[in-house]
Amino acid sequence: MIEFELLGKKYNAIDNCELSIYLNESCNADCCFCIAQMRYEDRAKAFKKSIIRSDAVYFEQLDKILSLIPQFIKSVTITGGEPCLNPRLPIVVAKMKEHGFTRICVTTNGSFLLRKEGNSNLLSVLIENGLTNLVLSRSSENEEINQKIMRFQYEACSNEDIREIIRISSSHGVNLRISGIFLKNGVNDLETLFSYVSHYSKMGCSDFRFRELMDNNESNMCNMEKIEFCAKERVLIHELIASALKDKRFFLKKKIEGKSFFNNYVFDIEGATLVLQEEDSEYVNDQRNNHNCIYGLVVHPNGDLSSSWADGDNVLLKYE
């Protein structure tokens, strides 16, 4: 636990506390399990965030917040929604570098990374501005199945796009992780998992992560479509981990417990790293009940800094 002071108030934070910049809620996909949406609805809140409209005012507020972030926090993730839809993204990445963050990550569905930006593309601009890590969400290596789950409305990210994203990232030393969720009609067992990892490994990606669907507080939620989808599609990760531990193709390199919301099972599959993340319920309950500790900081598009994904909750610095 690390103690820090912000605007004269003392706080305790976990050692691996990270900063997240939540850029916007809009997205060109409509994943049946969208975690960004569920995180809100789980708290009986509507998924509609207020924003600072003026770029100049937003960046001024962001600079103010970044100058207050305690020095021990060196990792930042820029997320949404789809952050690449927001024209502020390249400047936000540059600001993270300016303020000394050493791990600067963007989570994305990949759709706009190859969009033209002058003579270059968005991904190259982000790399030039300081991007160090990229987490790309992908439900299946099969385009048709992926579309059924992610439901891109326009500019879907294709496997050929991913091939190019992997090429650009690896030639510039950016760590690219491809991330998925186990679903009955998607990647649902060791065979489909192996085929997914092999498919993108052959393109040059060597880092993968899979989780199970989150538990939601259904009594708070009214989005019946998503509730029903999650109930129908849930695949229990502990059963898959148990099978992987017995399968010669999956070599357990290490298990990391008690350090985050997930217990991480780190496997080697033919030279690629696959992390299976099982929710650590003890850790999650601690976080729910321990209101004196900060597990992560989030800058919301309305200019507030809070320790919650839901804007308006646990605000440390309010934009006024």
Between CA 141 and CA 164 the distance in angstroms is 15
- Assess 29 for contact with ligand SF4 (CB under 6 A): yes
In angstroms, what is the minimal distance from the CB of 136 to ligand SF4? Answer: 10
Site for ligand SF4 in 121-160 (CB under 6 A): 137, 150
Stretch that binds ligand SF4, among 23-31, 68-76, 97-105, 169-177 (CB under 6 A): 23-31
In angstroms, what is the minimal distance from the CB of 27 to ligand SF4? Answer: 3
State the angle between helix axes of 89-98 and 55-68 in degrees (0 to 180), rounded to the nearest 10. 30
Between CA 200 and CA 178 the distance in angstroms is 8
Nearest to 206 by CA among 238, 259, 237, 169: 169
- Assess 109 for contact with ligand SF4 (CB under 6 A): yes
Nearest to 7 by CA among 317, 319, 320, 259: 317
Q: Are 37 and 47 in contact (CB under 8 A)?
A: yes
97 three-class SS: helix
Q: Which residue has the tokens 């759709």?
A: 111
Nearest 5°: the CA angle 27, 28, 34 is 55
- Assess 110 for contact with ligand SF4 (CB under 6 A): no
Stretch that binds ligand SF4, among 77-85, 209-217, 220-228, 248-256 (CB under 6 A): 77-85
Q: Which of 17, 18, 40, 81 binds ligand SF4 (CB under 6 A)?
A: 81
In angstroms, what is the minimal distance from the CB of 38 to ligand SF4? Answer: 9
Q: What φ, ψ does residue 274 adopt, rounded to 5°?
A: -125, 120
Structure tokens at 147: 């579309």
Residue closer to ligand SF4, measured from CB, 27 or 125? 27
- Assess 86 for contact with ligand SF4 (CB under 6 A): no
- Assess 27 for contact with ligand SF4 (CB under 6 A): yes
In angstroms, what is the minimal distance from the CB of 319 to ligand SF4? Answer: 23
- Assess 31 for contact with ligand SF4 (CB under 6 A): yes
Q: Which of 41, 82, 233, 304 binds ligand SF4 (CB under 6 A)?
A: 82
Site for ligand SF4 in 155-184 (CB under 6 A): none
| Residue 309 CB neighbour total at 10 angstroms | 20
- Assess 230 for contact with ligand SF4 (CB under 6 A): no
- Assess 35 for contact with ligand SF4 (CB under 6 A): yes
115 three-class SS: coil
Nearest 5°: the CA angle 214, 216, 221 is 140
Residues of this chain that interact with ligand SF4 (CB under 6 A) are 27, 29-31, 34-36, 80-82, 109, 137, 150
